C-alpha cells in the first residue's frame, strides 16, 4: 500500500470514527461500523468508515458514482466475499455481533436481506418466487407457505395486484411490480435489515413513488439502508443520510440537516448540484 493511501486511511480513522457514532436518546443502534477499510487487490475503496445505523429507520447513502456507497452497502451482508481479491479490515456489528467473525454467512443473509438495482426475479411463478426462501429454510407446509406469501406480498403493497395470478410467471409483471415482488421475496425471509441498492433507478416515476411509499411504511418493521443517486428521493424517504466521497464518509446526520444546513462545504456542493 502506498504511503499516501496509508496516510489517507489513518486520517479518515482519526477524523471520522467518533463523528458519526453518536446515539440519540430514544433510538437503538442496529448496525455499528468502526474503522472499516476495504481493498480490491491493491486498490483501496473504503477508508476508515465509521457510523452507527439506527434500528427501524431509513438510512440513505448518497454520493457520486464510484464513491464507495454500494461497496459499503455490500459489506453489511458480506456480498463482497464473493469477489476475488477483496480484503476487509475493521468491525461491523449487527445486534452487537461481529459479522466478519462469524462463519454463518447464510444466517447473516437471512437476517440482512438485499434488493438490487434491477429486479432479479426467478423464471417461475409469483408464488414460487416469494416462497423460494422459506422453502430453502425447510418450510414445506402448504398452509404456512400460503400465509407467508400473502403476508409478504401485502407487506410489499402488491397483493391486490397479483392475488388472482399467483401461479403466472413473475416475469410477466411490469418493472415496478417486479421490484415490489423482489421486496416481498426479501420480506418472506423475515429479516431484521433490508439493504437496497438503487431500487428505483430502472423504474418509471409512478412505480418509483409506489416503492418510496412502501419503503416509508416498511421502516415500522425493518431497518433499511438504501443507496440512491436521487437527492429528492433521499430527502423524501430517509431519516438519516450519509454522504460518501472518494471512499470516505464526509458527513452523516439527520436527513433534514444534510439537505438544509450541512456542516461540510463538499456536502453542500453535492446536494445543491455543483458536482456529481
Q: What are phi and psi of 95, to 5 degrees?
A: 55, 40
Q: 214: closest CA among 241, 235, 231, 236?
A: 236
CATH of residue 196's domain is 3.40.50.300
> What's the whole-number mean pLDDT along residues 23-40?
87
22-36, 82-96, 252-266: the lowest-pLDDT one:
22-36
| Backbone region of residue 247 per phi and psi (left: phi > 0; alpha: psi in -120 to 50; beta: other values) | left
Residue 133 domain-assigned? yes
Query: Does some domain include residue 52?
Result: yes
Closest C-alpha to 57, from 238, 195, 255, 242: 238
Give the separation between CA 198 and CA 194, rounded to whole angstroms. 13
Let me know: does 208 contact 200? Beta carbons within 8 Å: yes
User: Per the structure, how many domains does the chain have?
Assistant: 1
Within-domain flag for 151: yes
- pLDDT tier, 12 (very low <50, low <70, confident <90, very high otherwise): very low
Residue 240 lies in a domain: yes
pLDDT digits 0-9 by tens, 181-231: 999 999 999 999 999 999 999 899 999 999 999 999 999 999 999 999 999
- Report if residue 276 sits inside a domain: no
Q: Is position 261 within any domain? A: yes
Work out the average pLDDT over 62-79. 96
Please report whether residue 75 resides in a domain: yes
Q: Which of 82, 150, 140, 77 has the alpha carbon at shortest distance from 110?
A: 77
- Over residues 66-79, mean pLDDT: 96
Residue 128 domain flag: yes
Averaged pLDDT for residues 240-262: 97
Residue 84 banded pLDDT, cuts 50, 70, 90: very high
CA-to-CA separations, 104 to 71, 85, 115, 139, 186, in angstroms, rounded: 21, 21, 21, 20, 19
- Show the domain range for 187: 3-271
Amino acid at each position: 500500500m502506498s504511503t499516501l493511501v496509508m496516510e489517507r486511511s489513518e486520517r479518515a480513522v482519526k477524523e471520522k470514527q467518533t463523528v458519526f457514532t453518536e446515539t440519540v436518546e430514544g433510538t437503538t443502534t442496529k448496525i455499528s461500523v468502526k474503522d472499516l477499510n476495504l481493498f480490491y487487490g491493491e486498490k483501496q475503496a473504503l477508508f476508515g468508515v465509521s457510523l452507527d445505523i439506527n434500528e427501524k429507520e431509513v438510512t440513505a447513502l448518497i454520493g457520486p458514482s464510484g464513491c464507495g456507497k454500494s461497496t459499503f452497502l455490500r459489506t453489511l451482508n458480506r456480498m463482497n466475499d464473493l469477489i476475488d481479491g477483496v480484503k476487509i479490515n475493521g468491525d461491523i456489528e449487527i445486534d452487537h455481533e461481529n459479522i466478519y467473525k462469524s462463519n454463518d454467512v447464510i444466517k447473516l443473509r437471512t437476517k440482512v436481506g438485499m434488493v438490487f438495482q434491477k429486479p432479479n426475479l426467478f423464471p417461475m411463478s409469483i408464488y414460487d418466487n416469494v416462497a423460494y426462501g422459506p422453502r430453502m429454510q425447510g418450510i414445506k407446509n402448504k398452509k404456512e407457505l400460503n400465509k407467508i406469501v400473502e403476508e409478504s406480498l401485502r407487506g410489499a403493497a402488491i397483493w391486490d395486484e397479483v392475488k388472482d395470478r399467483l401461479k403466472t410467471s413473475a416475469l410477466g409483471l411490469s418493472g415496478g411490480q417486479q421490484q415490489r415482488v423482489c421486496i416481498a421475496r426479501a420480506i418472506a425471509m423475515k429479516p431484521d435489515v433490508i439493504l437496497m441498492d438503487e431500487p428505483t433507478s430502472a423504474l418509471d416515476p409512478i412505480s418509483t413513488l409506489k416503492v418510496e411509499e412502501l419503503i416509508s411504511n416498511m421502516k415500522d418493521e425493518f431497518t433499511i439502508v438504501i443507496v440512491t443517486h436521487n437527492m429528492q428521493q433521499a430527502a423524501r424517504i430517509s431519516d438519516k443520510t450519509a454522504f460518501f466521497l472518494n471512499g470516505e464518509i464526509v458527513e452523516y446526520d439527520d436527513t433534514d440537516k444534510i439537505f438544509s444546513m450541512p456542516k461540510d462545504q463538499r456536502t453542500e456542493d453535492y446536494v445543491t448540484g455543483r458536482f456529481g
